[in-house]
Amino acid sequence: MPVISVTSPKGGVGKTTTATLLSTILAERGISVILIDADPNGAVSLWAARGAGVPKNLQVVPAGAPNEFVRQIDASAATAAYVVVDLEGRAGQMAAYATALSDFVIIPTQGSQLDAEQTVRHIQLIKDQERVSRRRIPFAVIFTRTSAAVRPTGQAFIQASFAEDGIPTFATQIADREAYRAIFSFGGTLAGLKDSGARVGKLSSAIENADAFVDELLQQVAA
């Protein structure tokens, strides 16, 4: 039922990685998920088409045309326990629709000052959308591609200023890990990589990290 959009005004910040980790982990926990690929570049669809396939509770579908997208989100929400929408790296019509219909919006960001500024502007846009749609749109920022070992001072500063401004932020960060790239090279899921015995560095840490992110999200979005 809940619709979760992954959006950012910037490309390459980890939206598709975040959306795919979330969808596959929910599906592997036995939850039905529809993952809508709303990026014309189709990264999610390419991933789904790779050899390893997708978990049986997960359905990956391309987004329809803008005037059908709204119905598609509604129909998906009526069918699946969770709907995840992977969006293009810019604000536009599709992102606006998805955001307006979401029960939760995840905004991935990398820990640089430039990224942070764009993220803040994107949050202002979401706030304005809340105003015109007269409903609260819960959201949170997630730091991606962070170092698992150290927290650079720049990033710590940004986190502190987000906290000061009352910007909700995931406690879990999605660290930069080989395994998160590997699922896009081979297709399939983190658990699938483990079962296949593929030699991927720090795979169990990557699984723990992704699970922690999903757990934290589920605390905020009850089905």
Residues 33-72 that bind Mg ion (CB under 5 A): 43
- Asked whether the beta carbons of 39 and 69 are under 8 A apart, the reply is no
Q: Is 121 exposed, middle or buried (0-12, 13-18, 19+ CB in 10 A)?
A: exposed
Any idea what DSSP says for residue 132? H
- CB nearer to ligand ATP: give 32 or 45: 45
Return the residues of window 4-33 that contact ligand ATP according to CB under 6 A.
11-17
SS3 content of the chain, % helix, strand, coil (to 5): 50, 15, 35
Distance in Å, CB of 30 to another protein, minimum = 16
Q: Which long-range contacts (CB under 8 A, 24 or more apart) does 191-194 make?
A: 191/24, 191/28, 192/52
- Alpha-carbon Rg for the chain, nearest whole angstrom, is 16
Site track for another protein across 27-66, x = CB under 8 A: --------------------------------------xx
CA nearest 82: which of 114, 62, 59?
59
Q: Residue 93's binding partner, choosing from ligand ATP, another protein, Mg ion, none, with beta-carbon cut-off 5 to 8 A by kind?
A: another protein
Please give the single-letter amino acid code of residue 219: Q
Q: Which does 75 bind (CB under 5 to 8 A by kind): another protein, ligand ATP, Mg ion, none?
A: another protein
DSSP 165: T
124 binds, among Mg ion, another protein, ligand ATP, none (CB under 5 to 8 A by kind): another protein
Q: Is 122 in the site for ligand ATP (CB under 6 A)?
A: no
| Nearest distance, CB of residue 38 and Mg ion, angstroms | 10
**Please, are residues 34 and 84 in contact by the beta-carbon 8 Å criterion?**
yes
Binding site for ligand ATP (CB under 6 A): 11-17, 39, 43, 89, 144-145, 174, 176-177, 180-181, 184
Binding site for Mg ion (CB under 5 A): 15-16, 43
Binding site for another protein (CB under 8 A): 1-2, 65-71, 73-75, 77-78, 90-93, 96-97, 100-101, 103, 121, 124-125, 128-129, 131-135, 221-223
